[in-house]
Homo-oligomer: A and B are copies of this chain.
Amino acid sequence: MVLRVGVIGGGQLARMMIPAAIRLGVEIRVLAETAHSSAELATTAVGDYRDLDTVLAFARGVDVVTFDHEHVPQDVLAALVGEDIAVRPGPDPLRYAQDKLDMRERLAELGAPQPDWATVSSAAELTAFIADHGGVVVVKTPRGGYDGKGVRVVREAADAADWLEVGAPLLVEERVGFVRELAQQVARRPSGELAVYPLVESVQREGVCAEVIAPAPHAGRIAQAAARVATSIAEGLGVTGMLAVELFETDDERILVNELAMRPHNSGHWSIEGAVTDQFEQHLRAVLDLPLGSTELRAPWTVMVNVLGGPADGDVDRSRRLALADQHAAAVHLYGKDPRPGRKIGHVTAYGEDLDDAMFVARAAAAAFD
Contact = CB atoms under 8 A, between A and B. Distances in A.
Contacts of A298: 298
A2 B321 contact: no
A321 B293 CA distance: 11
A296 B24 CA distance: 25
Interface stretch (A53-61, A176-184, A258-266, A327-335): A327-335
A23 B332 contact: yes
Contact of A42 (B2, B41, B316): B41
A290 interface: yes
Contact of A25 (B276, B316, B329): B316
Nearest to A291: B325
A336 interface: yes
B325 A24 contact: no
Interface string A310-336: 000000110011001101010111111
**Interface majority SS (helix, strand, loop, mixed), chain A:** mixed
A15 interface: yes
Interface string A22-53: 11110110000000000001100000000000
Contacts of A245: none
A285 B16 contact: no
A267 B324 CA distance: 25
A276 B18 CA distance: 20
A276 B317 contact: no
A41 B22 CA distance: 9
A293 B328 CA distance: 9
Nearest to A333: B23
Contact of A293 (B2, B316, B329, B335): B329
A224 interface: no
A296 B293 CA distance: 25
Chain B CB within 10 A, most for which of A27, A291, A331: A291
Given A290-B324, A324-B285, A324-B293, A25 B277 contact: no
A346 interface: yes
Contacts of A335: 25
A297 B317 CA distance: 27
A204 interface: no
A1 interface: yes
A236 interface: no
A265 to B, nearest CB: 18
Contacts of A333: 23, 25
A317 B3 contact: yes
A294 interface: yes
Contact of A290 (B2, B16, B321): B321
A19 interface: yes
A11 to B, nearest CB: 13
15 contacts: A16-B22, A18-B22, A19-B22, A19-B23, A22-B41, A23-B333, A24-B334, A25-B316, A25-B320, A28-B41, A285-B324, A290-B324, A291-B324, A293-B329, A294-B329
